[in-house]
Amino acid sequence: MIQPKASSVLTNLFSPFQIMDDSSPRPVRSMFAWLVGASQVLGLASVVLTGVWMGHYRGGFAWNGSAQEFNLHPLCMVLGLVFLHGDAILVYRVFRNEAKRNVKLLHGIIHLLALIISIIGFLAVFDFHKAAKFPDMYSLHSWCGMATIVLFCLQWVMGLLFFLFPVASSGLRASYLPIHVFCGLVLLVMAIGSSLLGITEKLLFSIMPTYSLFDPEGVLANILGIVLVCFGVLLGYLITREDYRRPPNPEEESLSVHFKTLIEGGSPTRP
Amino acid sequence: MIQPKASSVLTNLFSPFQIMDDSSPRPVRSMFAWLVGASQVLGLASVVLTGVWMGHYRGGFAWNGSAQEFNLHPLCMVLGLVFLHGDAILVYRVFRNEAKRNVKLLHGIIHLLALIISIIGFLAVFDFHKAAKFPDMYSLHSWCGMATIVLFCLQWVMGLLFFLFPVASSGLRASYLPIHVFCGLVLLVMAIGSSLLGITEKLLFSIMPTYSLFDPEGVLANILGIVLVCFGVLLGYLITREDYRRPPNPEEESLSVHFKTLIEGGSPTRP
């Protein structure tokens, strides 16, 4: 029976520079650690820049139907649908040598957190629009953003059914896995694209007369956009590069290790 | 000496439904053909929608420093940096069983066409801004768009040096190839993202008061944005799916078949 190595997963959470398999060549390990570090700096920078933009230039945060409630929308979306979403995908590379069920659980938990935060951000903008009697769902940002969040929810439910509480046969799961992985990356790109559209929309609604004069608010928001693009490119590289992939483990696959065995503590060979 | 099969490349250009290796399973071949067909419909639709938007709603095209000159910018960018750029990448999947040097040549030619059209589109907007005394390079669209076109030029020159007129060693070329492939896909995504930002900017500059009333121009431009996203997703799927990859051909690789041998008709084993 395989025991979950939860403690080592948690230890590794705080030691990203010692995460690669010792059998990997040293330059590959070292480069991977630097790139993961850089991705985290970019991801956190995007959240901080959004917070500064909304907090300093747009009057801060509240939940009272005012523009301050709207300000929660960009912050929650960048935090949930971009940063946490990206990191939830990245755990499969960072913890590539940990037991798959632990990594899967961590992936699901971070995604749940991303989903909750995104839904708060989603509600914030609709609540603000309702209070201010602003129309909904007419802009390209709203169309792309709505498509992203609906598909993100669908992807989360499908992931839950297929991989955490596997109701599908192992053959079906194996067929769905590459689609799940592809859709995860597409949704991250769509979330970043929607964020850039939101930045442009917000700037043109708020500071159109001074935007072309390199207003500091505009420059800050543009930099936020570029940081989001760099985060996406780095995540894309880390996720798709062959050297960084989780090594196949036929034994683990054949044991069909999944959430059920983890929570019940039963034999992983149980169907 | 391997003879280029230019005629079969050209024949296949017009028969995308008979393009997969006969050894591929029938459902894989059939699905691939449908997806390639769908990608072409979406790509052409995006060009047509941009043409209709600029031609019908924005007064058509000219090269005289007027708003009609600006109208060439979106059309050229969608045609060059999105549709042709995407198709230049796709040729490696569509002609996966053709001689590599022919496909490489076709890839380079389509990219050259994409580059020329993109540069015309790039000049159109700067020329219009200059004539109208509009400021340049302050918006997120301009920052993302400029980064995309500069990196696209760099990628084209690097591709030319590494693969069409290989000046680098075969080891260096092999190391650079996955980076070239990754950057090609990133640039396609950046081109689509920049286009979406351009759509949003243009709509908010032109029809802000009526955009929220579902003005037909706004709806058409939003649909264009969604079509561009779908084109990108489909291209991404076709390019990254394992079944559709070009099968490795060690003999071809060892012969180091490149442009020089094609144009000189010499032995492909010549360095």
Amino acid at B9: V
Question: Would you say B162 and A212 are in contact if contact means Cβ atoms under 8 Å apart?
Answer: no
Contacts (Cβ under 8 Å, ≥6 apart) of A126 = A136
Residue A4 pLDDT greater than 70, yes or no: no
Q: Do B135 and A213 touch (CB under 8 A)?
A: yes
pTM for the model stands at 0.87
Q: What residue of B is the nearest CA neighbor of A216?
A: B138
State the nearest Cα–Cα gap between A136 and chain B, in angstroms.
Answer: 8
ipTM, 2 decimals?
Answer: 0.87
The Cα A227–Cα A230 span in angstroms is 5
Count CB neighbours of A14 within 10 A. Answer: 7
Domain ranges of chain B: 37-243
Mean pLDDT, all residues of chain A:
87
Coil vs helix vs strand at A160: helix
Q: Which chain A residues are closer than 8 Å to B193 by Cβ?
A: 192-193, 196, 229
Please identify which residue in the block is written with the tokens 């909304």.
A54
How far from A144 is each of A151, A191, A266, B230, CA to CA, in Å? 11, 8, 43, 11
Count CB neighbours of A29 within 10 A. Answer: 19
How far from A254 is each of A95, A126, B234, CA to CA, in Å? 20, 47, 32
Q: Do B233 and A186 touch (CB under 8 A)?
A: yes
Q: Which chain A residues are closer than 8 Å to B236 by Cβ?
A: 182, 186
- Residues A125-168 have pLDDT tens digits of 999 999 999 999 999 999 999 999 999 999 999 999 999 888 89
Q: Which chain B residues are closer than 8 Å to A236 by Cβ?
A: 182, 186
How far from A179 is each of A128, A158, A233, CA to CA, in Å? 36, 11, 20
Query: What's the mean pLDDT in A90-94?
Result: 96
A–B: how many Cβ contacts below 8 A? 108
Question: Would you say B210 and B11 are in contact if contact means Cβ atoms under 8 Å apart?
Answer: no
State the nearest Cα–Cα gap between A233 and chain B, in angstroms.
Answer: 7
Q: Does A229 touch chain B (CB under 8 A)?
A: yes
Q: Do B226 and A144 touch (CB under 8 A)?
A: yes
Q: Name which of B140, B141, B211 is nearest A139 (Cβ-Cβ).
A: B211
The Cα B206–Cα B199 span in angstroms is 11
As a CATH number, domain A37-243 is 1.20.120.1770
Tell which wins on pLDDT, A130 or A25.
Answer: A130
- Residues B6-48 have pLDDT tens digits of 334 333 333 333 444 445 667 777 899 999 999 999 999 999 9
Question: Would you say A206 and A200 are in contact if contact means Cβ atoms under 8 Å apart?
Answer: no
Q: Do B139 and A211 touch (CB under 8 A)?
A: yes
The Cα A143–Cα A139 span in angstroms is 6
Q: Which chain A residues are closer than 8 Å to B208 by Cβ?
A: 204
